[in-house]
Structures are given as C-alpha cells and as structure tokens.
Amino acid sequence: MHQVAAIQMISGPDVQANLDQAAPLIAEAAEAGAKLVLLPECFAAFGNRSLQGIAEQEFSGQQPITRFLADQASLHGIWLIGGSIPLPRARGEKPMACCLVFDDQGEEVARYDKLHLFDVDVADNHRSYRESRDYDYGDSVVCVDTPVGRVGLSICYDLRFAELYLALSRAGAELIVVPSAFTAVTGAAHWEVLLRARAIETQCYILAANQGGRHPGGRETFGHSCLIDPWGNVQASLTEGEAVLCSSIDPDHLNTIRTRMPVARHRRFVPADTIAAAAKESD
C-alpha cells in the first residue's frame, strides 16, 4: 500500500500568497504519511494576467515557484507534482502549461507540457476561456517511475481525451494524476464521470487535485478532488474549499483487476499515433 495525497486550493493571482497557502497543506499531507503529493492546476498563479512575466522568472535564475517545489519536496522527503506553472522551453518563447515532478531529494525528474488547451465557451460568469492565447501546446506523453508506482501525467482539459490516457496506460502507467481547475459548471456536469471512465478504461488509479471555490475576480471552480481505483470506485473525495485528501493505492488490487479482466491484452483497435506515443515513452 502506498499513501498519496491531492491538495485542493482556491488560488488567486498573487504568486507568493499562493505559495504561502500551499506550504502548510503540503506539510499536512506529508505528516499524514503521503509519499507522493499532487498540487492543482495553476496552484501558484490563478487568474494572473502577467503569465509571460511569471514564465520568464521561472526560466531565469530566480525561479520562485520551481525553487518552492524543490524545497518542499526535499524538506518533507516526498515526491511532489507541481500541478501546472507557466514555463517556456526556451527564452522568449510562449510558455507551456507545465507540470513538473520533483523527487524526495528536491531534484526535478519529469516535465509534462499540457497537450490539450481549454478554448471553450462555458455558461458561467467568465463565459469564454481561451488558454491558447497564453500558452503553447505540448507534444509528448510522459510517464515517470516513482516509489508509489509508474505515474502518468495529465492536466485538466486533457481528461476529455481518452486517447491520451490510453497512451499513458500503454506506457506502463499505474497511477495517472490530473491536476485541474475545472469550472463549477463543467465540473458539476462531467468531473466525476470522466475521472471514473478514465480509471475504468486504463485500469489505473486516478488521483485528481482540483481548484475548489470562488476565486478573486469571481471565477468558480468545482473542487471534489478525489482518488479513484482501477475499478472506477471513488475511494476518497473532498467537496469544496482548501483541504488535503490522503488515501492509499494498492498494487495488489490493481494487479488483480488487470488479471481478472485483461482488457489491455484484449484490445483490438488502438489508433496508430497512440501506439507510437506509447512506444516512444517506453523506449
């Protein structure tokens, strides 16, 4: 059994205030025995219109968010998955919505750039979301080996694209993380059903850390961070507000489900690009 944790926040535009909010929640998760801790999407900068400036700081020697993540991971001896931060691949380029993974020594061991950007209209008070104005698209499927198993990385809107999760499964994922900022409207409609579907399809644990409440500027996020087992059962969940969810993943339970219903072996149709992506990650 491995203890994992999802941190739910109500982040705002002030980076330092968000980091100050995250630190005691990370400490709480570590004290509860979590070996891997997941932060939500945009945990350090939610609704901040100076994303390019934040990205340039992270790419430069200052790196306030990246250093925070590394320091927290080494301080608590945990693997820490940093939700998403704006981070370019090269100086002057448009930032990616980037998920960084740090090991228990504070070393960066993986980077995932969000593949699917949220360019949609929603029936809420914000109405229009256009992530592609601020971010560039990622192009890689990423898994990383951790003490709690092989972890597949995804971010928020990725959840609607089953082919990505299939690729993560084929690349050996046992746990897939979903740091998110699902809106209250789309979350109420689809959050749990999508998470459960991805768990059932991939026969993986799904750990989802969502933003959860009313943010400065009036935006509302859904919360309901959760851990779902490979059979699609909601093993633990929150409602709204700042909170820490701790629960355990059981490799024996995962292996039993995969043995009794070997869907990966039975699968007859897999898109060619999904096979190629999974093969690339397995090399």
Ranges of H-type helices in the chain: 15-31, 51-59, 64-76, 162-170, 184-186, 192-202, 251-260, 263-266, 272-282
Residue written as token pair 């109500």: 10
- Give the C-alpha distances (Å, rounded to integers) separating 183 from 153, 227, 234: 20, 19, 20
DSSP 191: I
- Of the candidates 41, 58, 174, 281, the residue annotated as catalytic is 41
94 part of the active site: no
Choose the catalytic residue: 35, 98, 99, 114: 114
Cβ neighbours of residue 113 closer than 8 Å, sequence gap 6 or more: 89, 96, 97, 98, 99, 136, 137, 138, 139, 140
Helix then strand count (H, E) for the chain reads 9, 15
Phi-psi domain of 271 (left: phi exceeds 0; alpha: psi -120 through 50; beta: other):
beta
What proportions of the chain, in percent to the nearest 5, are helix, strand and coil?
Answer: 35, 25, 35
- Which of 100, 19, 85 shows the shortest CA–CA distance to 52? 85
Is-catalytic flag, 99? no
Concerning whether 114 is annotated as a catalytic residue, the answer is yes
Catalytic residue among 42, 143, 156, 246: 156
Residues marked as catalytic: 41, 114, 156
